[in-house]
Amino acid sequence: MHLSDFSSRATSRVRLRFYNDRAGDISYIEYLRKILLHNTNLSIVVEEKPIDELQGDVKFLEDEAVLICSRHYSVNVPTTDRMRIVEV
């Protein structure tokens, strides 16, 4: 999944939310840097939330979303037609 996919679909805003079990750990920014710097077209918001809020958020999802998760991490979330799950 590339940000350009969103761009080509005329989406102007993308929210990247990190569910994390270590509050305040922003080391993920290191991995995001290239993506964020590559982007010049989309408005991007990066957020973080505790991992235990993931299930609730999925349940009340209003927008289209892609859940990217580690294949070494078992995620138990309700399925919804608004969300696609990608294992990496």
Give the tokens for residue 60: 């009340």
- Locate all alpha helices (DSSP H) within 1-88, ordered by sequence: 3-8, 28-38, 54-59
How many residues form the binding site for other proteins (CB under 8 A)? 24
Q: Which of residues 50-79 bind other proteins (CB under 8 A)?
A: none
Give the tokens for residue 76: 């138990």
Of 2, 21, 45, 88, the residue at the interface with other proteins (CB under 8 A) is: 45
Q: Measured between alpha carbons, how far is residue 61 from residues 15, 23, 57, 70, 87 in Å?
A: 13, 23, 6, 21, 19
Cβ proximity to other proteins: between 30 and 81 the closer is 30
Cβ proximity to other proteins: between 27 and 74 the closer is 27
Fill in the per-residue mask, 15 to 34: x = in contact with other proteins (CB under 8 A), - = not in contact: ---------x-xx-xx-xxx
52 CB contacts (<8 Å, ≥6 apart)?
none
Residues that bind other proteins (CB under 8 A): 12-13, 24, 26-27, 29-30, 32-34, 36-49
